[in-house]
Amino acid sequence: MTENKLKIIPLGGLGEFGMNCLAIRWQDDIIVIDAGLMFPESELLGVDIVVPDITYLVENRQCVRGIILTHGHEDHIGGLPWILSELNVPVYGTEFTLAYVEGKLEEHKLLDSTELIEIAPKSKFTIGPFTIEPIRVTHSLVDCVALAIETPVGVIVHTGDFKIDLSPPDGKAFDLHTFAEYGKRGVLALLQDSTNVDRPGYTPSEWAVKPRLDEVFSRTKKKLFFSCFSSSIYRIRIALDLAQTHHRKVAVVGRSIVESSEIAQDLGYLDIPPGLMINPGQINDYAPENVLILISGTQGEPMSALSRAAVDNHKHARIVSGDTVVLSSRVIPGNEKSIYRVIDHLCRRDANVIFDDGASGLIHVSGHASQEEQRLLINLLRPKFFIPVHGDYRHLKKHAQVAVETGVIGQAILIEDGDVLEITPKEARKNGKVTAGRVCIDSGSNVDVVEDIVIRDRRHISEDGIVLPIITINKLSGKVESQPEVVTRGFAAVDAGLIENARQIVSKTLEGSSSEEKADYGVIKEKVRVDLKRFIQKNTSRRPLIMPVILEI
């Protein structure tokens, strides 16, 4: 009978990278593992984030018992505010993960109404018919866990994101022993991270970057700018250790990296010696060879600290000839154009730019397991059923093949978002689908769901109209050749002077921008759009679609 089968229902993360969310159901009890988001492709105009469609959870809200988080990356916790606005359920996570979650929920005014329950490795807890043991795993973030879930039909293991690092910088190694114990007792199904299935061999330890970074610190004669993902606490820790060794004071620039490092310091993951840190305003008080600037913006985000510093538009972070900039991160697919644009600007400043170009020595290592680590864990657990998770379909398919090649699993099953996988002690098979997909969110003054991007834009234009600031820029000199024009369609100005004032706002933005910014159309369009949007909203309380147009001569 159906009620005697365990159901595994992925709602996100199987068929794409990001937006990880998976439901496990036994009769009238549902637990949810992770609640992630993904960032939109460039064609999704006006969309800030993309989250999983949780129609299935909303329809069965009386059955949902809680959300369990494996770690604190955005692709695993970023969708929480959206989901919790629809479902008021407890959220379980490790200490560090919940510290990230608290800031996110406070920003969305959901902290007071949400029950946060701290979990820890090796400490079992029970939700309905499920007994869950978090197992310590290593990743590019600290305090990450896999989940061993005892269900009425057997043990399910969900790895979360992982790699097998037996000597991480915080000393909290991957818990191979507990995985082996579960393997001895018997595992019904393994859900394993597929992200790096294309990579043979093993993923290097976090320590592997230290020799090359040590060399960079030794050779750098002027200021050293170091950029990594704000959540890469291990990398920040290594940079701080090297700064102390090489007698450099450290300034932290950029909101996300400031917040992450403060949380890590509060929870004991960063032990910062007295006198090492300085305020960004003190950077010029020290000789260039005695300063390290930790700076956010490693993916070339248009308004990040590094992007602004690259075009000499940051109050404290000034990059000059001879300075060194290290980008200690991978290039996330889709961000190549933004990152190489920033690198171009840095090269124009005559800075020495070091990024993950495959040259000698590592400045970045992945946080995900390569093929041999995936095989090792499969051999330890010896599951009856294997389900690859996290990745595009090609990754899931390749991962299933890798798993079958180990020769220790009974069956590898490929499922995608919305598939219902029914499992008994003897068999696992797909049986039907639930509603699944992507929900586009525009997080302006209110969090608006973008049900269909085309309909949304049509509605937007029909209600508030469209404003086209037209700017003429000389491609060679970067100079603005004539006064900006502001053309409107479907937007009625409140008074005759509004359009003229709007033109002045655009002119002021252009005057306050460097020639490099003007030559970078992506940056200058965003600056004009933001300033004009703020002015129009303040003066009309309306939000027309603003699309800057640059005429190149």
Catalytic residues, which ones? 193, 368
CB 219 within 8 A of CB 213: no
Distance CA 305, CA 162 (A): 29
User: Cβ of 335: how many Cβ atoms within 10 Å?
Assistant: 16
DSSP assignment, residue 480?
A: B
Shortest CA distance to 541 belongs to which of 486, 484, 498? Answer: 498
DSSP assignment, residue 39?
A: P
Binding site, annotated residues for Ca(2+): 46, 48, 442
Binding site, annotated residues for Zn(2+): 71, 73, 75-76, 139, 161, 390
For tokens 């700076």, what's the residue?
295
Q: Is 454 exposed, middle or buried (CB count within 10 Å of its CB: 0-12, 13-18, 19+)?
A: exposed
312: left (phi over 0), alpha (psi -120 to 50) or beta: left
Q: Does the CA dihedral 185-188-194-197 come out positive or negative? A: positive
Distance CA 417, CA 246 (A): 49
Distances (CA, A) of 318 to 88, 186, 315, 325: 46, 58, 8, 12
CB 49 within 8 A of CB 145: no
User: Which residues have C-beta within 8 Å of that of residue 117, sequence separation ≥ 6?
Assistant: 66, 90, 91, 92, 93, 125
Shortest CA distance to 339 belongs to which of 356, 362, 319? Answer: 356
Identify each DSSP E strand in 108-246 by its residue range.
116-118, 125-127, 130-137, 144-151, 154-158, 189-193, 224-227
Reading the block at residue 439, the tokens are: 């929900």
Angle, alpha carbons 131-428-378 (nearest 5°): 70
How big, in percent rounded to 5, are the helix, strand and coil portions of the chain? 35, 25, 40
What distance, in Å, lies between the first and last C-alpha atoms of the chain?
A: 72
How far from chain centre, in Å, is Cα 126? 29
Distance CA 275, CA 292 (A): 13
Distance CA 439, CA 449 (A): 7
CB 260 within 8 A of CB 133: no
Distance CA 304, CA 306 (A): 6
Secondary structure (3-state) at 552 = strand
For strands 324-327 and 352-354, give the pairing.
parallel
Binding site, annotated residues: 46, 48, 71, 73, 75-76, 139, 161, 364-368, 390, 442
Distance CA 126, CA 133 (A): 9
